[in-house]
Each structure stands twice: as structure tokens, then as C-alpha cells.
Amino acid sequence: MRGMSTIEIVTKKDVELVDITDSVEKFVQGVKDGVCIVYTRHTTGALFINENENGLKQDILGLLEKLVPKDAGYHHDKIDNNAHAHLRATLLSPSVSIPVENGKLVLGTWQRVFFAEFDGPRRRRVIVKVIGE
């Protein structure tokens, strides 16, 4: 299998965690053995894998807000008032790679794939590239 697919996400808040696992999994149907690369080209959003539990999602956002508060005198805020969003995205990653077996993502029972919005609301795109057969 070759090629690249895109998932569109419309975020509704300035900061938001969106579970995109089901959308990603659609692209690995029929792939017996491979790897799925999920990647975003945005600089104020990121990807990560963890559990979809409401309290935990609040904790993750709370941790990032504590580590990188808004308006803390960042240089980038002089030209674009969203340095905190770039810095939070930098602490995560623009991509995750997941093994694929028998048409399924090889994820742990509690693992889900998230898009993290740090400068919403916006229309976002996530690229899914599946390598395998």
C-alpha cells in the first residue's frame, strides 16, 4: 500500500485534545503488516498517544499550562501572540508511528491517538501515511 491520506479536524476551543484513533484506523484496513505514520504540519498543534479519560485530559492540559503559561514574556509574542502554543507543541511531537498488524493499529488497551490543539479554534489537518502490505 502506498500513498498519503488526510484527516480534517475542526477544533472548537483555544486548547483542546481530539481523539482521532477511529479516523486513523480506517486507513490501515487491509494492511496485514506495516507501520502507520500520523503527522501534522502545524506548529501550534501536536500529536501524542495516551488514555482518553476526561480527568487525565484535564491533567495533561494543566501540566502543559503550568510548564508553559501564556504571556510569560516570550520573544515570539512580539510578532505573533501565540508563543505559548508553539512551545507547548514543541514539548510534544508533530508525529507518532504505530505498528500495524492484520488491519489494526497495534495499540495498548488504553492507548488512543490524540491531536492536541494549542491555538484554536482552527481547521487542522493530520497526514496519515501507511507503509506496508
The residues that touch Zn ion, with contacts defined as CB under 5 A, are 80, 82
Ramachandran class of 38: left when φ > 0, alpha when ψ lies in -120 to 50, beta otherwise? beta
Q: Give whichever of 37 and 74 is closer to Zn ion, judged by the CB atom.
A: 74
How far apart are alpha carbons 44 and 80 in whole angstroms? 12
Q: How near is the Cβ of 26 to Zn ion at its closest, in Å? A: 32
How far apart are alpha carbons 128 and 39 in whole angstroms? 6
Q: Give whichever of 84 and 112 is closer to Zn ion, judged by the CB atom.
A: 84
Q: How near is the Cβ of 74 to Zn ion at its closest, in Å? A: 10
Q: Give whichever of 43 and 95 is closer to Zn ion, judged by the CB atom.
A: 43
Taking CB atoms, the residue at the shortest distance from Zn ion is 80
Amino acid at the residue 3:
G
